[in-house]
Chain A
Amino acid sequence: MTGETGLGMVAADAAAIPLAARTRGLRKVYRGTVAVDHVDLDVPMGAVLGMLGPNGSGKTTTIRMLLGLVMPTAGEVELLGHRLPDGAAAALPEVGALVESPGFHSFLSGRENLLRLAAAEPHLHSGRIPAAVSESLERVGLTGAANRRYKGYSLGMKQRLGLAAALLVPRRFVILDEPTNGLDPAGTREVRSVIADLHAAGTTVLVSSHLLAEVEATCTHVAVLNQGTVVAQGELAELLDSGNAGLLITTPEITLAVDALRDNRIPARAVPDGVRADLTATTAPAVVETLVRAGVPVHEVRRDRTGLEDLFARLTEDGAAAEAAEFDLALPIPEEAR
């Protein structure tokens, strides 16, 4: 019943990939404003899908419809094989979610807040509640602050508690809307490790984010939203390959390097600290071998990290949107705060 079988099936038959979530023709109109339109989203079982998009692109609205919180104006949603909204009772117990800013009672402690949510969890046996809550707090590193009032929590602690609530029970599908919002670098790393653990256990994960690096580091799949529609989706590797993959080589002998690569029919050009080699027709080891043979001193070789950013910029059509996403790195703003 878990994602492990799902993963196996992905490999076995790509034509009929089991999906953790699927939307068709999703449309939502808020008082005359179209928030989301024609969204056909597929979340493969066992995948870690990163949902990207500039602010106001419809990420949160899509997630809210995926969870049955918001009724779509048109279109259909399938969650773990159950049609929403009727199948919500069957699907939601197996789904953990952190949507928008975490919602807790400020006058209760973190533990009490979780106890309250645990009481509402269909899959949790009453006798298991205290243990499940403690484990969940432990998992997000809040054990020390568990008995403090939520009111006194920092933004990061609130976010962690939200994560703890989403992971109160083992889930088949976990949806995290901006999980690293407000977290310090250490917290961000921990979230990444949680996502990796979930992935390893076969859980399907959907992460919405505007932090491209985070998506690139943790996701197997990507869906890019812009202006309320999905402009691209698929496996991360495939999408990146469709873009312009490259290798950045730091070297003092820039001219020598460019010449050596071009002699071997590898497109290359000079960049500030070295050379950028195009990987469309070759592989990284081939590039390095060519340079070493030509006697070029190679100080550092790395993948051109701008791949997803380029892709994102191209898909969202205007560079300003990508810049806005970049800007959010420094100033996290809760998306689509309604």
Chain B
Amino acid sequence: MTAMTLGEIQRPDARRAPLGRLLRSELRMVLRRPRTLILVGLLALVPVIAGIGIWIAADASANSGNSVDEGLAGLVDGNGLLLPVFALVIGLNMLLPLTGAMLAADALAGEAASGTMRTLLLAPVSRSRLLAVKAFGVATVTLFVVALMAFTGTIAGVILLGGDGMMTMSGTTLPLGEALGRILLTVLLVTVQVWALAAVALAVSAWTEHPLIVVVVALGVVILSGVLSAIPALDWLDPVLMTTSWMGIPEVIRDPLPTGTLTEGVLRAACYIVIGYSLALSRMLSRDG
């Protein structure tokens, strides 16, 4: 062990590490966590598996001559550019919320449990900055995962199911460029919805040291709002339920684009994001490190 010498300090007056450096370091860490990698890999496979499933089913139904199918799934056959949209809608049922919840759980509760949050606070990274870095990590990885699903979905869709342009639910055909625009729009809309859930999960994550609790609570929120929206007597609750926006996502493949519904979904998500992050920040400021 050698003695350390003074004078190695390079930025003696700096009170904060450069933000970009912190964000890069956070992303590098999150993307090296085995749990994250497994989930990312699984999600990237979802569109491919869905595509193969539809491809096989289409063959079977072509033989039986019966292809009447409700909803999105029935439109995807022979219409490969719809596969990414379909896969994201499927993913939003469970896997993507799970991903958002897990990322949020690891971000604060997990770091608190392993003691790594303490070392960061001592560096020091201020509490509000730490939350910002964590929120950035969750948000970026979410966007990455959703975009990855759309990417594998588009590739798998074009290869397995083919199709020229995108046939919309309204029975019109969009040229390739516009179709890719719709896919990108779906990516953004789905990402914002996952962000909303992740924000709520992050608030829970700031309150506990047990990542599992965060995942359970977040999925509980999803299931509960699903149940509430299924009860006709509680229809008046629908406009405030997170899942209402999720169910509106397939609207993205209607033509013309029903901007009203989609904007409302984004605004609703924004409300949840504001609530989630302010609660998380509040707890971060007061919690013991």
Contact = CB atoms under 8 A, between A and B. Distances in A.
Nearest to A166: B122
Contacts of A119: 17, 21-22, 24-25
A184 B14 CA distance: 38
Contact of B289 (A70, A93, A112, A190): A70
B114 A170 contact: no
Interface residues on A, range: 35 or more
A197 B3 contact: yes
B120 A120 contact: yes
Nearest to A141: B1
Interface stretch (A47-55, A102-110, A254-262): A102-110
B248 to A, nearest CB: 38
Interface residues of B, number: 42
A260 B28 CA distance: 74
B10 A123 contact: yes
Interface string B9-29: 111101111100110110011
Interface in A300-335: none
A69 B6 CA distance: 26
A169 B17 contact: no
Contact of B114 (A2, A104, A120): A104
B34 interface: yes
A107 B34 contact: yes
A132 interface: yes
A140 interface: yes
Given A107-B32, A123-B14, A126-B21, A64 B288 contact: yes
A120 B6 contact: no
A95 B16 contact: no
A271 interface: no
Nearest to A116: B25
A119 B8 CA distance: 16
Given A69-B122, A104-B116, A201-B5, 13 more contacts: A67-B122, A100-B118, A103-B116, A103-B117, A108-B29, A108-B32, A117-B123, A119-B21, A120-B125, A123-B9, A140-B1, A165-B119, A170-B7
Top-4 shortest CB links A-B: A103-B115, A125-B10, A69-B289, A92-B124
